[in-house]
Amino acid sequence: MFRNYSHQGNNLYIGEINITESSIGIEENSKASIAVYPNPTSGLATLQFDAQITNDVNLVISSVEGKLIERLRFNGQNSNTLKIDLTSYSQGVYIVTGIVNSEIVRARIIKQ
């Protein structure tokens, strides 16, 4: 039993406390991921998905500042690789984000 004594006459008694375990957060063991090669690239890059793709994949390429650069749609039912052309992009770091089989995947591409 916990007791809290105050000098103003208001005492607090706690007779029972139940502590349960809970999990809050993002699961780190994602089954889907993207590999990028060559990385860094001077223009052409290949995105390779390591999961079997069951649906269309919508990809977003953005700058590290969050500015939308391009949207791509990929039907991976015949392949798990996608070639993208970055030759018109400025030098810098870009983030590719997509949803593969209901999981968010991200990869970083460096354009030289």
CB–CB of 62/69 below 8 Å? Answer: yes
74, pLDDT greater than 90:
no
For a pLDDT cut of 70, what percent of the chain falls above it?
67
Question: What is the predicted pLDDT for the residue at 32?
Answer: 73
Q: How far apart are CA 112 and CA 108, in angstroms?
A: 13
CB–CB of 96/58 below 8 Å? Answer: no
Query: Which residue stretches of the chain are H helix?
Result: none
23, pLDDT greater than 60:
no
Question: What is the predicted pLDDT for the residue at 25?
Answer: 54
The string of pLDDT tens digits covering residues 33-62 is 889 999 999 999 998 888 767 678 889 999
Considering just the CA atoms, what is the radius of gyration of the chain in Å? 24
Q: Structure pTM?
A: 0.68
